[in-house]
Structure 1
């Protein structure tokens, strides 16, 4: 079953450094342009002026003519002065570079006294504290749902507006969050940076790794009230219950076919669009689904990861192993409704049905 992730209320804070840390940075307010970002300049580069009426002292930059309220105005002539030696990212302020370096060093100087969680930025700690206080200051004007973080609300509102500002340059898919786009790009690059230390499985997203770890811990918190089956994820249970209820909330507007999962509808739409975004790098064949490409790659690699426990025969596709197991069990699940003959494999059943339908699909 396709893995379904829960909607996360907590969003990932991007590398863009917040300007909430007044202990490490001095906020500069220019007189002429409030939003102009600033960069540290030498005292000799600024012309000091004093207004006799207001009593204010101002400093004008000889390069741009802009006027600032403090001598340590910033960033007019020279941009991106401070560069990270680890990754090459540049910053307008030294303080921002200092904070960014903690990503590489792993230093987390701001510690929550209640739970011990540590953070790179002071602003991150302040936002985290809302979890303990229960404060939810930001309310959605569309549905009334409240959030602890303003940015979480901003992202949530896009669900109502349909806005998807982040677009994949390779396949054109659009996303609500930039983090979702970054994760999506790994499908194209093949990058899987999150590795399970117990079994070595690799994952595109850290959330997928966390969910996978429940397999090793045996944690199954969500139980189906209809059949008693338990699941590690609430969303997986939600989708599973649709088997019992028959609910298929996602409908194709072109052909009317309905699906239990939104992901299945998205994949189905590629049939109508003719979109095949996944390409084999060895033979150039295109596929609608990434899973189909993975299975296809085994033709080139010779990999057969599915082994019969009774005879040791190996298969490249899990479904082929399931069909093969019928040989050992004697099970014949495919029964002809016209004459009652049963078959172990669906392909054999299809061939038999042509006797009754007189269909001859192959022409000489």
Structure 2
């Protein structure tokens, strides 16, 4: 009997050692450990939430029934029972649930033949995570919010990419010119600058574009669509940039200044054209008579003379030589 007793004690000791080893392995995966109960967590936020459960004083009280809770989030969940709020709605059968855990259990009833099937479009998914992410395509739900700006996103990965706007991180670098970008898609679009590729073709006029968005904006020329309207005078524009430039007429703002003479301009292109006055450059040349001009619009006005059908033979006017 004494031998059996000692053997049982050895077994108990081995069980304790195994439990401790398992706890140590778990702690390695979950490095944040509670000082009071030694429970471990994968993030500090989860640990902070847990430590509130050890507080002897329950500060968050329900005003309807008097029940108290150590954490506000527990009180918020409890209040949904009084309000009858069904926070989680199954769009497969429209049944509602107050708790996410109950909702998840219910969703398993729709796991048929190893797939979750979308009733709106018929697509099938073998995991709940992919199915839930797809569901937001139909609902428009964007649960991931940026803490630095009002933008929201349907997927966590999209928020992660967006955060590079605030951090300035640009991990994707062009091998030809060294320019860096926050997203691989931006690098791909940029590479067309070097290749000259313009895969997006306008079916109306045949003009090519390197980006689909540029083609979309270009199509407004053919459709006459002008989405951006000035709130001051009602004038409309095809592009937001056009409206922004136009607004300077109302504000009187002229942000582009000549460093040589101090003249200011509303549009950067006007400053560029003005600089030819100082440099003497005349880059716009008439292909008919060879006269050169500083501004493209001056050349365009000059070309109307050649296009006139009133003269069979043409001699350039003296004023053309003065620009």
TM-score range, shorter chain: 0.3 to 0.5
TM-score by length of 2: 0.47
TM-score by length of 1: 0.43
Larger Rg: 2
Answer 1 or 2: higher relative contact order, Cα 8 Å, separation at least 6.
1
Q: Which structure dedicates a bigger proportion of its chain to helix?
A: 2
